[in-house]
Chain A
Amino acid sequence: MTRRRARLRIRPTGFGLLLVGIVTLALVIDAGGADPQVAGLAWSALAAVVVIGTIWPLWVVATSTVSVRPTGSDVVVGDPVGFEVTVTSGGGPVEVSLGGGDAIERRWWSAIGRSTRSVAPTATGRCVLRDLEVEVRSSAPLGVLRVLRRHDIALAAPVWIAPAPIEQRWRVESTERRALDGSARQPSNAGDLVRSVRHYVPGDPAHLVHWPTSARAGELLIRELEPPGDLLVAVVVHLDDADDTVAGRAAGLVEAISEAGGSVILCTATEDGPAATTVASRLHAGRLLAAAIAAPPAPPPPGTRAEHVRSSLR
């Protein structure tokens, strides 16, 4: 459901001020021998321009409606975030902008009547994007008054903006390597044991789709494999508002551990409190990091190797 809260801002344009000044001066200054017939007609026309130029954009913007639908659910910082924006404005062109605070760059475009436009601003900040600001402004048709209306729109489904992974090197310890090599404990699997099936999440590898099951169920299902070996690493993320590389380094570390064959438990702080979550996929890790806040994270579970990611500024 789209929840709207609109705010209206009005300010005269430079041209509007000039026009009002001329109209006012024409009344107060003695025109001497000017023909009052011509002066009266011209003044009336300019005054009508001022009045219409004031009322029209107020009506256009006040009656404009906006709806937004995200076209994707998961992106990474630096990638475009797709939205389908439908603007309905009667009475003339309007300028529309889409913004999400620090999360996405603001973009402006013009629209006439009812128009649906796909915009893809670049994601600039890690977050779970649940609200958008859509600004509709107009000074049409005469450019006398500029009216801006801000719509705060709650998205029906959030958009997860994950941090861009910063490549990290991670080394498997010798003890853990023996476990992986099978000298002491033979891994119960080589990474191809099906643990369960679950619903498809965008980003899951296509080769994991179990097609027969999917056809029977009528929806995409993928095989969830047992991770090779028993290597379990807890990545503890200490976010810092002053250092925006922490989340990216954490994402890179999760990727490195996963590629090395380990399983990751991501310890972060969320709005609901500290959380330690087993990472199911790269996408899952991205969502966990997108939702993380700068607060004391959950401690690593006992028995796991802990890798702390902290700000490099301190």
Chain B
Amino acid sequence: MTESVRQMGALMRKEFLLEWRQRYALNGMLLYIVSAVFVCYLSFSARRGQLTPIVWNALFWIILLFTAINAIAKSFVQERAGRQLYYYTLASPQQIVLSKILYNTVLMLALAFLGFGVYAFVLGNPVKDVPLYLVALVLGAIGFSVSLTLVSGIASKAENPSTLMAVLSFPTILPLLLELLKISKNALDGLDRSVSWKEVGTVLAIDVIVLVLSLLLFPFLWRS
């Protein structure tokens, strides 16, 4: 047990190191979300606080969704076959997928909070219950990274991964996105928190289902 935890720690460290070495990719993701927010701001040519809450909310989550797909798509696509073979001899597939998921979660959390900050800065912040909105962000980051990691693993095995990544992930992420939209809308309107517990529960349940599936199914992907 402790052994496998240590191995996972090593794998995580390798992910961060790799990312740090290729800083342009990380910076690219950060710039991606900032410029996406700015493009939206300009194309609505909205001054602060002019978007209705529904549009404000939906727009933010769509930006986040695209960022997530772009960020997570590269977690498997970028790695070369030789290096994958090398991991194969080192660690079990479960450890690899868990470390990828954890790494992607951290990445998504950073992107989501940065995105929220910039978005609220340029387009105004109508959120009445900020802590609940942040909870929605955290849940979203976890959910996106868990389900997109598996999809990215699937897509990376096919011929043209980038298109396939979008096609495969949009429908599968939609249930999660709908629930998140509901929670964040409740937070936006400052509704009583007891209203949102049911949705929070559903999101957590979906996360757990997808996580368990990833652990079960990833070994089959890895072998090919």
A pairs with B: no
